[in-house]
Structure 1
Amino acid sequence: MDTRTVRETSVTLPDLDDADLDEVGSLEGEHGKLRDFRYAEARLRELSLSGTQLMDGRVIGLTTQRVRLEELRLNSVEFSDCDLSGLRWEDSKLSRVTFTDCKLLGAAWENVALDDVVFERCKLDYTAVTRLRAVGPVIFTGCSLREARFVGSDLSDVTFDECDLHLTEFDGGTYRGCDLRGNDLSGLRGVSALKKIIIDRSQLQGLAQAFAAEQEITFD
């Protein structure tokens, strides 16, 4: 199987063969299951899925105005060039899932588990992430997370690489081994929560700047 590696983190990618995928007109599936599928270029006013299992498929160019996803199980699924802004995703687990060049502006994730998941060149600005759990390797690379907020989440061993973290906030949670190398940390919020993270020495000044702003320290 192919992998995506950033520094010490390696994510196992979906194992898909286009010859095995059938074009579908809906993600609902039969009896709550959809497998070996390709869902492309849909323009929807609203998408609502609950209790659905998606396996071995591609979702390409999906655009929606409202998205509500609950109790989903995804395994070996690729999302690319999708606009899922305003997404609400709850009580789900994603395994071997990739998001590439997707817009997830203002999304809300709550009680979602991630295992072998990659976000690459995605827009996640203003996202609210509550009780997200990285139960396996997770990579954010080349993503924008401006003013995103992580609340009570477990981001242990998650890797952020070349991401825009301006005013990204970390409120409580667990961050042991979270790799923040290769990012500008000067605009972070909630620095005191980031215990046992991994950074480069060259990032200490930026982290100190963020801490000073958070504590309202004045230099005279």
Structure 2
Amino acid sequence: MRELVMDTETTGFEPSEGHRIVEIGVVELVNLMPTGNTYHQYINPERPMPKEAFEVHGLGDDFLRDKPVFKHIVQDFLAFIGDDRLVIHNASFDMRFINAELGWLNLPPLPNDRAFDTLALARKKFPGSPASLDALCRRFAIDNSSRTLHGALLDSEILAEVYLELLGGQQPDFGLSSSSGSASANQSRQPLPKRPAPLPPRLTDAESAAHAAFVQGLGDGAIWRKYGG
């Protein structure tokens, strides 16, 4: 199964206010394993980069000025993601911007149900706990020390690690399909050594007598009588 872990960086929070995408990063997973195949593109937003956005992303007008506009990269982007599932943290935000950009070019939107929201999954698994990407990195001991600024490809790579942890670790099948996993499973079925001496009973004489009286009252068909309990 192919999945695309994706992140976007933007000039602001609302495309309805004219804000645009300035960076897209995508990491490819196949059967929950990173393939090393990525998509990364800076984009000229055709508008000034607000100071607050520059402070978060480190992307200024001078840097973005010679980058391609969205309409010049859209076909390569769509070809890379194909029809496969998108894995996004706070998916509604990124999907809103991508579909706004597509709409401005009179292209069909991406269906929202293509996006799997890791933020929603984290909140479901850890209700009441912080669910930001940084908070999840701390929870799963994922090194995000290089994340001094938000960057789409770096955040996608980190999110891919978080996603695998949210699914139960980097080997969600517990390795049972691999040869090493089969050996481990066979080892786990080896009989345990017997105790050299049995543990002393923890029931008192009074408790044993009460249990015997209880079983006696159940009649001859009691399961405890059948198995000598």
With the length of structure 2 as denominator, give the TM-score of the two structures: 0.18
The higher-RCO structure (CA 8 Å, 6+ apart) is 2
More helix by share: 2
Bigger Cα Rg? 2
Give the TM-score taking structure 1 as reference length: 0.19
